[in-house]
Amino acid sequence: MRITENANLKEYNSFGTSCIAQRLFHLKKETDVHEYQKHPDGYPKHKLLISGGSNILLGSQIKGSVAKIEWDGIFILEEYENHVLIQVSAGHSWHDFVIWAIDHEFGGIENLSLIPGHVGTAPIQNIGAYGVEAKDSIESVRYFNWNTGETEKISNKDCKFGYRTSIFKTIRRNNGVILSVNFQLTKNNHNYNTEYGAIREELKKYGLKKSLSNISKVVITIRNSKLPNPKLLGNAGSFFKNPVVGIDQLKILQKEYPKIPFYKQSNNQIKLSGAWLIEKSGWKGKSHKDAGMHNKQALVLVNHGNSTGEELWEFAKRVKRNVQKKFQIKLEPEVNLIEIEA
């Protein structure tokens, strides 16, 4: 376990904002979590766990300790005729795991290609894209509980997954560390999901048949054409969640905006497009100093250069206020605010 004093987390977060952490602990193996917990400057002064850093907006300073999840590995636990059970360590790159699964002809996560971040964080906000969510393949989560010092196995059902949420965002928030995630993937009879977004049209356009690798390739092409690469333009993907409203609120909105896009959810709720609301409020492509909303995807907050986390949040709050004024809808951040007052 390596420790750095006054570490700048700029290279560890996808917004590329500067943040000086009093102490940064690099947890290289799973057992380093126990060492960190016992270290007098470790868990007793704990402020933040950081993994891939692609879903956080950091304030300029963290007075305390940050633990960085760095252990990785993929292990096949059990193999059956039709499916396989795989354990993946928390610090493993999500996209590398997806590609590994496709190379082994294991299905279920191909639509989630190219999502940045690590495997251990995938259950936290139940990452999703193109009609598929991590919850569809997660069997269970291994979790180290800070309070009890015990490692627990939390079943899919007990993770209480929902749209961009899980128990790790509610009652288990900041309560422990996800050590690894178990996935159940298909070995044959794959359930290809090509209905969402432009996947089907893209497959047709290139004359590709439905397969795990072709779906992944198409998803990668679509994502690259739409979303800014954080290595070139600081961002954390969708900054706000798509708001979910009741049918009555949709009807009120439809009177004034008959073309408002909406997606019916299974529980009689309606998901609206946050990007559409932001665009109609006039914020798509707008910026102030180095903070802005992306010109192709209005839901993505971007750092054009040297914004601080606080400046980005101030800008995002202006967008949020305007959307609320125009549509009476409150946008909630999908990204985790760290040492920034919400």
Return residues touching ligand FAD (CB under 6 A): 14, 48-56, 69, 90, 115-118, 120-122, 124-125, 127-129, 177-178, 227, 230, 235-237, 336
307 catalytic per annotation: no
Does residue 238 have an active-site annotation?
yes
Indicate which residue of 65, 238, 281, 307 is catalytic. Answer: 238
What phi, psi does 91 have (nearest 5°)?
Answer: -90, 10
Q: Which residue is at the shortest CB distance from ligand FAD?
A: 117
Nearest to 172 by CA among 149, 201, 143: 143
Question: Which residue, 66 or 277, has its beta carbon nearer to ligand FAD?
Answer: 66
Beta carbon nearer to ligand FAD, 154 or 323: 154
* Phi, psi torsion values for 74, nearest 5 degrees: -125, 130
Give the active site residue among 23, 164, 172, 281.
Answer: 164
For the bound state, the minimum distance from the C-beta of residue 272 to ligand FAD, rounded and expressed in Å, comes to 17
Residue 33: CB minimum distance to ligand FAD, A: 9
Cβ proximity of 61 and 19 under 8 Å: yes
* Least distance (Å) between residue 77 CB and ligand FAD: 19
Q: Pick the closer one to ligand FAD by CB: 221 or 322.
A: 221
Using alpha carbons only, what angle is made at residue 266 by residues 262 and 268, rounded to the nearest 5 degrees? Answer: 70
Q: 5-9 long-range contacts, Cβ below 8 Å, gap at least 24?
A: 7/66, 9/50, 9/53, 9/58, 9/62, 9/66
The least CB distance from residue 225 to ligand FAD, in Å, is 13
- Closer residue to ligand FAD in complex, CB, 197/285: 197
Q: Do 36 and 78 meet the contact criterion of CB atoms below 8 Å apart?
A: no
As measured in angstroms, the least distance from the Cβ of 109 to ligand FAD is 12
Distance CA 113, CA 96 (A): 9
Q: From the CB of 14, what's the least distance to ligand FAD, in Å?
A: 4
- Decide whether 21 or 115 has the Cβ nearer to ligand FAD: 115
Verify whether residue 334 is a known catalytic residue. Answer: yes
Structure tokens, 203? 């497959």
Which amino acid, 223? R
Check 70, 133, 202, 334 and give the catalytic one.
334
Residue closer to ligand FAD by CB (options 159, 236) is 236
Active site residues: 164, 238, 334
